[in-house]
A and B are shown apart, each in its own frame.
Chain A
């Protein structure tokens, strides 16, 4: 066994050194930046930029008068591109578009709301930029089709499930069966144990998990029957032990 207090001291030193490096790099970068900046300003003070132009041109500056262009009136609203013209929220039974927009807190004061050339239950909103459009679309989607929260799946379980679909490795199925059994999800445990059994009928653990999961779901008689069949063909001591427990209604 290691000297843990001493090890912790070393770890603290390691952490300090680890933090030191980026700090030193940042400080030196900042210092270098500051030096360069000061150097540049000093250089400008001593050698102003127009000093060269003074020496080269001795002539009096001539001011050219350019003909004044008539001021063009800028368009208040730039024309919309084809792709940006509309957000179509289909099949939305909203009586008034303006009211609906208030509901989700979108400022439509600058937007143009036009009467759509579609059935009454469709709305067209024109005048948002792309990001705004995405946000509006998302909020409408959320509002109209609130998504159910997906139950959290353990990433390892997910990984094993994905791997099993490709590899069909009975060991993967057995791990999943064990996992679900431990988490008291007996139905899933039974399915995964059955998967393992189907691929490799000689995996003892998968038979035991299968029988236990069955029993936990209230199918004790069926569990005994299955286990008895397995025991008859293998004479496994573990199967015998579990069989006895199931028959005597003892905890397993």
Chain B
């Protein structure tokens, strides 16, 4: 694998707990979520702009707590009611729902009431803004049983207000907002991503002026930053193959960084 191919790999956009970079902001959010889970909160709202690390935070909490608590992660939204109940059945009964079977919602509620005090199940719902309102309403009712607790992750849009105000206004006990990184955090993020793959040379070539530029065009958004860095190394790879005289191996190319920003649409030419 070429030098830049490895560097590119560092910034592949994937939810991988092993590649988690510990930053002050995200650690604070993790600690808050952990604290909320220890308290008897029925609903916890986790919100932030896309690319602020919500899914990674949920994956991390799942990874850390899966042996201590009964915890489940719905990584993609379940848009059909039947599909949602099938998954819920699997969790509650610990068996797959038989084919050609339908379960009434009230039966679920009754079942939850019956096992109250015996089991406490945490469900992490990612991309909750995509769930139909009816399912959200049912989630609210299920959370009232005290058996199912939900961590609801959604984008910081008007939907978040709608959900917060209409369905859960009186029930959401814990809210956690994930924000974009600060300049300092972005620097640590980029360096740690590279160092995780032993890319010391490249990491040491990235100077404050590059960080300033990256921060300016990405506004500290992790996903945008990863996209920008990934594209930059893709451009490096192209020139390495076609015209190596275009860059100096001892210096990080501001030109390639700017080209990448144009390519991903972060800069309007």
Residues of A at the B interface (CB closer than 8 Å) are 1-2, 4, 7-8, 10-11, 13-15, 17, 154-156, 159, 169, 171, 175, 178-179, 182-183
In the bound complex, what is the Cα–Cα distance between A15 and B267 (angstroms)? 11
Measured in the bound complex, the distance between the Cα atoms of B200 and A125 in whole Å is 51
**Cross-chain contact of A178 among B198, B235, B262, B269 (Cβ < 8 A):** B198
- Contact between A4 and B204, CB atoms less than 8 A apart: no
Bound together, the chains give a CA A14 to CA B238 distance in angstroms of: 20
- Known interface pairs A14-B267, A155-B204, A182-B200; A1-B258 also in contact (CB < 8 Å): no
- Give chain A nearest CB distance to B256 CB in angstroms: 9
Q: In the complex, which residue of chain A has the Cβ closest to the Cβ of B21?
A: A171
- The reply to whether B231 and A13 contact each other, CB–CB distance below 8 Å, is no
Contact A11 B255 (CB under 8 A): yes
Cα of A17 to Cα of B268 in the assembled complex, Å: 11
- Number of chain B residues whose Cβ lies closer than 8 Å to a Cβ of chain A: 21
Is B130 in contact with chain A by the CB < 8 A criterion?
no
A243 to B177, CA, bound (A): 48
Q: In the complex, A17 Cα to B71 Cα: how many Å?
A: 54
Contact A156 B269 (CB under 8 A): no
User: CB distance A11 to B259 under 8 Å?
Assistant: yes
Given that A2-B231, A14-B267, A182-B198 are known contacts, is A7 also in contact with B259, CB under 8 Å in the complex? yes
**In the complex, A123 Cα to B93 Cα: how many Å?**
93
Interface SS, A side: helix
Instruction: List the B side residues contacting A183 at CB < 8 Å.
Output: 200
Q: Are B195 and A175 in contact (CB under 8 A)?
A: yes
User: Contact string, B12-23, partner A, CB cutoff 8 A, digits 1/0?
Assistant: 000000000010
CB-based nearest B residue for A154:
B204
Q: Per a CB cutoff under 8 Å, which of A11, A155, A171, A175 touches B262?
A: A11
Main secondary structure of the interface of B (DSSP, over half): helix
| A2 partner, pick from B198, B255, B263, beta carbons under 8 A | B263
- Residues of chain A within 8 A of B200, CB atoms compared: 154, 156, 178-179, 182-183
Contacts of B22 in A (CB 8 A): 169, 171
Those of B27-60 within 8 Å (CB) of chain A = none
Query: For residue A4, which residue of chain B has the nearest CB?
Result: B238
Determine whether B172 belongs to the interface, using a CB cutoff of 8 Å to chain A. Answer: no
B238 touches A156 (CB 8 A): no
Asked if B234 lies at the interface with its beta carbon under 8 angstroms from chain A, I say yes
B residues bordering A, Cβ < 8 Å? 22, 191-192, 195, 198, 200, 203-204, 231, 234-235, 238-239, 242, 255, 258-259, 262-263, 267, 269
Q: A15-B258, A175-B195, A182-B198 are in contact. List 8 more A-B contacts (CB 8 A).
A: A2-B235, A4-B238, A4-B259, A11-B259, A14-B258, A14-B267, A17-B269, A156-B200
Most buried by B among A1, A8, A171: A8
**Are B269 and A4 closer than 8 Å at their CB atoms?**
no
A174 to chain B, nearest CB (A): 10
Bound-complex Cα distance A251 to B74 (A): 47
Nearest-neighbour CB distance to chain B for A13, whole angstroms, equals 5
What chain B residues lie within 8 Å of A13 (beta carbons)? Answer: 269
Instruction: Report whether A14 and B269 are in contact in the complex, using a CB–CB cutoff of 8 Å.
Output: yes
Across the interface, do A14 and B234 meet the contact criterion of CB distance under 8 Å?
no
Q: Across the interface, which residues of A come within 8 angstroms of B203, CB to CB?
A: 156
Task: List, in ascending order, chain B residues with CB within 8 A of A8's CB.
Answer: 259
Known contacts: A2-B231, A2-B263. The answer to whether A10 contacts B198 by CB under 8 A is: no
Most A CB contacts (10 A, CB to CB) among B195, B234, B267 go to: B195
Question: In whole Å, how far is A168's beta carbon from the nearest beta carbon of chain B?
Answer: 13
Contact present for B258 and A156 (CB under 8 Å) = no
Q: Which residues from B are CB-within-8-Å of A14?
A: 258, 262, 267, 269
Please measure, in the bound complex, the distance between the C-alpha atom of A175 and the C-alpha atom of B195, giving whole angstroms. Answer: 7
Whether the Cβ atoms of B204 and A10 lie closer than 8 Å is: no
- Min Cβ gap A160→B in Å is 8
Given the interface pairs A7-B262, A7-B263, A14-B269, the reply to whether A156 lies near B255 with Cβ below 8 Å is: no
B258 to chain A: closest residue by CB: A11
Chain A positions within 8 Å of B269 at CB level: 10-11, 13-14, 17
Q: How far is the CB of B233 from chain A (nearest CB, A)?
A: 12
Contact residues in A for B255 (Cβ distance below 8 Å): 11
Residue of B191, B195, B198, B235 near A4 (CB, 8 A) is B235
Top-5 shortest CB links A-B: A14-B269, A11-B259, A4-B238, A10-B269, A2-B263
The answer to whether B235 touches A7, judged by C-beta atoms less than 8 angstroms apart, is yes
The distance from the CB of B24 to the nearest CB of chain A, in whole angstroms, is 10
